[in-house]
Structure 1
Amino acid sequence: MLSVQFTYGQEETYSDSLQEHNFVDKVIDVITFHGENVNIVTYPMAGFSEQEGFSAGLMPVFTFKEKNPEKRQNTRFNRPTTFIPSILVSTKGLFNVDASLIMFGLGKWNMYFTGVYQYVPNVYYGINEAVPSDTVNYFNRRFSSFGEVQYEISDTFFFGARYDIQYNEITDVEDTYLNATVEGYNGGFSMGIGPEIRVDTRDNIVYPTKGGLLAIAFTPYLSFTGNDYNFWYFFTEFSQFFSIKNNKNVIGVFAAFHMLDGDIPFYYLNTLGGSKRMRSIAQPNRFIDKNYYMAQVEYRRHLFWRLGVVGFAGVGNVYGSNGTNAFENVKYTVGAGIRFQLVEDMKLNFRIDYGFGNYDQQGLWLTTREAF
């Protein structure tokens, strides 16, 4: 394994506090609840995507305060506990209810959980088809829960387990191109659990300005645990962040490699697009396959008040089926985005990103948290 050394030095910083409240701040104050241990602010949601159409919903953001202020002052890492549920509907039939919880500070135990009920319109393009011979519209009804439980060996090294539980139901299939010959056509139950190692030196998990994250995990989905499909999943991801002159200018780099093998349902195959990775690919199922790699770089700039901007670029691919290889039909993305700080004393951002790339791809994303 590579040995990675992270160095910390003194640098100029800037305040995230918003001293002078304008009209928007006052409106946010109205929809914000300030409790003894938690702040809650509820935002409306709206957006548009090729997959879902126009969407609207609500998203309350819970941020929990550190009960021991001295603990926060005596650590170089800012790891707040946040809870973000949301509900979303769209003009193309999407109904989505989800919630994510990132929890730190339970002794040496740190946890991340997410739960989703989703009825989502989708398109099947085939597996890794550069030019699909046909496409099929369908709906996927999905109940899922994903989580990680980590034990803190040191303040930067964590060892634990990750789990993934899903039930998928494929409905309203409009064409015979998606049929019983495609693994996963009948949907089904999947449950995987396996070990994970993390090395996390990010100064702030919500908005890092220095440090990095290395994660390595292996998750088997075995028949004796009730799985309808028997397969395994391996992934490794790495990110690193650098400040330029001060914390207003941050460069982040990210690299990932994922591998699947076994009897893999098509909806579990690695997807290249989405709001966090190749942001030009608006329909995540456009390119799917067993293996996946990608790398991206992002420049983040805080402007003033709650506003910031980013520029990003990425390259990646999926491969492994139908004789495809890693360097055949490689995809790229370039784009830019706007950031709006949701919480006054935390750089938890609402983000609007637009990306475009080859294969006539472009995507517009409206969501929370940074891409990596």
Structure 2
Amino acid sequence: MKLILLTLVALPLFSKAFAADDLPANAFPADAFAAIFFSENAFPTNTFAEESTAAANKDTVYQSSYSVLPFVSYTPETSLMFGGLSLHQFKPGDAGPETRSSSFIFSAMYTLNRQLMIEFTPNVIFPQERWILDGRYEFSIFPESYWGVGSETADDDELEIEYSSFDFRQSVLRKLGPDLFAGPKLRWNRVYDISVEEPENNTASDAGNNAVEQTTLAGIGFSVRQDRRNSIATPAQGRYLELTAMFYPDISGATHPHSSWRMDARRYLDLSGDQSQVLAIHFRSQLTTGQLPFREYALLGGREIMRGYYEGRFRDSNSAQIQAEFRRHAWWRIGFAVFAAAGEVWNRFEDFHLNNPKFSAGAGLRFDLNPDDTTNLRIDYGISPHGGGLYITIGEAF
């Protein structure tokens, strides 16, 4: 049933002429949504063919590189984070300028919230981009705040859950056409050594106790991705769409058998024609069914979407979030951005309503660390009715 619902959600994104009269009165106009995200003529931009030709003339021989760098960032979930990372960028085999660079990233981070994260992220793109191998292998010890499940949890319900986790993810994507990839995904996850620290008179204690369960997940899924962004770290043109389905059945040994469906759609409009003024729009949704451990619920908030909400401040079986951001170059290497977002979580579709949607907004500064290949230092502050948060990191939110 959820797969059918996801199809119904995704279908308008590909529709060129979906009548608004066919939608409920409170629904988002699907044809307008599709036009913004997927129309090539929404705003005039340079073609990617022209950019690819220019890149081909410039990048005739790729030089592999290896770097070891210190790293500092700040988010509401981690407080101050510091550590180091090693980055190896390369192109395998006889890959030429038509193939984006591959990378191996190893990082170790510690935060003032006593969180430890060790992560290895391999991304290998084969010649002609025929195959893409995306992976993430992570160990973490992670205390985090938890308010229970549902869209009506109170700020006073906060408690702290600490756990250790191994999380291994690997996808194998095959090129099906220009900028279109599809393939299987595998995941293994283990959460253990869980403890709950509850303040006195905490009304969320039942939800917290229910969350204290060691979990093991082994899942398989499938992903379809279209990526027409001109840049991954600092996109200014193009679009991105990824649809993913994951299944964690009993037969795999999962302690909490369940399924999840995710949609991530992004559109970038170059308003000025020279990438100095960009309007970026982002829609993200997650639908789940089955037995969910607390880390597998659909989460609202974080450093990528609904900034101003602690990631997981609201969580439930399903979520939908949308945000828009205006980015402008100001002077030299400096720019700024303003953003706003809305979202909601819910349990069952028959209980879904928009009586209490969640909103956030904010602004931030950008500093271009590499003018030859724009990569921004991002400093954002987001606010919401449930607090606010400072975000300092590398790369745009989306």
Same fold (TM over 0.5): yes
The alignment status of 1:102 with 2:123, answered yes or no, reads yes
**Aligned pair 1:252/2:280, yes or no?**
yes
Given residue 371 of structure 1, which amino acid in structure 2 is its aligned partner?
A: A
Deviation at 1:211, TM superposition (A): 1.4
Aligned to 2:109: 88
Separation in 1 of the partners of 2:318 and 2:324? 21
Say if 1:322 and 1:5 are closer, same or farther in 2 by CA, change over 3 A: closer
Which residue in the other structure is 1:59 paired with?
85
CA contact (8 A) 1:183 1:263 kept: no
Residue of 282, 293, 298 corresponding to 2:320: 293
Superposition deviation, residue 54 in structure 1? 3.2
| SS of corresponding position for 1:224 | helix
Instruction: Report the count of equivalent residues.
Output: 344
Query: Match for 1:112 among 134, 158, 178?
Result: 134
Shift of 1:87: 1.6
Aligned residue runs from structure 1 range 105-184, under 5 A: 105-107=126-128, 108-128=130-150, 129-132=152-155, 134-175=157-198, 178=205, 183-184=210-211
Distance (Å, rounded) in 1 between the aligned partners of 2:184 and 2:210: 27
Q: Which structure: greater strand fraction?
A: 1
Residues 79, 314 of structure 1: alpha-carbon distance in 2 compared, 3 angstrom cutoff: farther
Match of 1:353 among 357, 361, 380: 380
Matched, 1:6 2:6: no
Give the distance between the partners of 2:241 and 2:112, measured in 1 at CA: 39
Q: How far does residue 89 in structure 1 lie from its aligned partner after superposition? A: 1.2
Q: Matched residues, percent identical?
A: 23
Structure 2 CA distance for partners of 1:299 and 1:85, relative to 1, 3 Å: farther
Q: Following the alignment from structure 2 to structure 1, what is the Cα–Cα distance between the partners of residues 307 and 233?
A: 20
Indicate the residue corresponding to 1:17 in structure 2.
Answer: none
Higher helix share: 2
Q: Give the match's secondary structure for 1:144.
A: strand
Cα pair 1:184 1:264 within 8 Å, conserved: no
How far is 1:92 from its partner?
2.5
C-alpha displacement at 1:337, in angstroms?
Answer: 2.2
Q: Distance in 2 between matches of 1:233 and 1:220?
A: 7
- Give the drift of 1:240: 0.8
Distance 1:232 1:262, change over 3 A: same
For the residues of structure 2 that align with 1:50 and 1:146, how far apart are their CA atoms?
25
TM-score, normalization by structure 1: 0.82
Residues 261, 229 of structure 1: CA spacing in aligned structure 2 closer, same or farther, 3 A cutoff? same
In the alignment, structure 1 residue 302 sits paired with structure 2 residue 323: no
Equivalent residue in structure 2 for 1:272, among 279, 300, 311 = 300
Which letter does structure 1 place at the counterpart of 2:69?
A: Y
**SS of the residue aligned with 2:113?**
coil
- Is the contact between residue 93 and residue 127 of structure 2 (CA under 8 Å) also seen in structure 1? no
Going from structure 1 to structure 2, the CA distance change for 1:303 and 1:84 (only over 3 Å counts) comes to: farther
Maintained 8 Å contact 1:120/1:140: yes
Provide, for residues 288-342 of structure 1, a one-character-per-residue CA deviation record: whole Å limited to 9, x for no partner.
Answer: 1111001111122234554432221111111116985241321111112233344
Structure 2 SS opposite 1:103 = strand
Whether the 8 Å contact between 2:218 and 2:253 is mirrored in structure 1 is: yes
Q: CA-atom RMSD, angstroms?
A: 3.0
TM-score normalised by the chain length of structure 2: 0.77
Structure 1 residues 125-165: Cα deviation after superposition (integer angstroms, max 9, x where no partner): 11123315633222121111223221101122211122332
- SS in structure 2 at match of 1:153: strand
